[in-house]
């Protein structure tokens, strides 16, 4: 996969791919900046694509896209390992294949893009690299209530009802209990809990799905 940016200053790209084991200057300062840029622009992307997701869901989705393993895989697709400048010890021990080194180099490269061409160029590059993963995330990110509804609809069964059982705690630390009521394929009730009514409904729907999983594949 090609990097969606052509550097005007090749020295910036080289610095981004220089591990501290190779001596100074190295990419740690760039990695610090790239981490902030990546988190900000991925947060923006998720905010746009998941308008109904709450803060907790958005945080989980971002963690699925921005973690050491995921970033290392992106670095491999960009073939950054072959371009890394490593000290003899790291080279001998296979540092060019290590997730942490690859992930850091990827973040440093994003900062280098920003310094080379500005904020919009960095934003565009991040979006281009994350779009395929975002599409996969969207396929996997259907919440429990949606999946339960689709499970029932595919079988021509009645949709669930959600009943608030209890709401306790302060305004800043509430706790909800909700029951998911199913009339088909057989009457059943599943209780869920959460820090919001929606979260409790999701928990109850997940429990209902787990109970239904053995009914029909």
Residues with catalytic roles:
35, 107
Rounded to the nearest 5°, which phi and psi values hold at 201? -65, -40
Burial class (CB in 10 A: 0-12, 13-18, 19+), 186: exposed
Rounded to the nearest 5°, which phi and psi values hold at 161? -120, 145
- Asked whether 192 and 165 are in contact (CB, 8 A), the reply is no
What is the H or E stretch that residue 22 is in?
A: none
CA distance 97 to 48: 34
Q: Which residues contact 137 (CB under 8 A, 6 or more apart)?
A: 61, 64, 65
The sheet carrying 188-194 orders its strands as 161-169, 174-182, 188-194
């Amino acid at each position: 996969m090609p990097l969606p940016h052509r550097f005007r200053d090749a020295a910036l790209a080289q610095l981004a791919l220089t591990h501290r084991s190779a001596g100074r200057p190295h990419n740690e300062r760039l990695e610090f900046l790239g981490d902030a840029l990546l988190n900000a622009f991925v947060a923006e992307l998720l905010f746009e694509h998941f308008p109904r997701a709450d803060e907790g869901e958005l945080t989980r989705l971002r963690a699925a896209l921005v973690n050491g393993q995921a970033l290392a895989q992106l670095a491999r697709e960009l073939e950054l390992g072959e371009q890394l400048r490593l000290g003899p010890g790291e080279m001998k021990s296979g540092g060019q294949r290590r997730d942490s080194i690859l992930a850091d180099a990827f973040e440093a490269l994003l900062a280098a893009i920003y310094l080379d061409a500005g904020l919009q160029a960095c934003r565009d590059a991040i979006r281009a690299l994350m779009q395929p993963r975002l599409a996969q995330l969207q396929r996997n990110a259907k919440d429990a209530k949606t999946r339960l509804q689709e499970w029932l609809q595919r079988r021509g069964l009645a949709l669930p009802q959600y009943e608030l059982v209890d709401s306790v705690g302060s305004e800043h630390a509430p706790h909800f209990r909700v029951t998911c009521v199913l009339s088909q394929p057989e009457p059943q009730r599943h209780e869920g809990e959460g820090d919001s009514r929606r979260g409790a409904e999701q928990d109850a729907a997940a429990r209902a799905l787990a109970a239904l999983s053995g009914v029909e594949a």
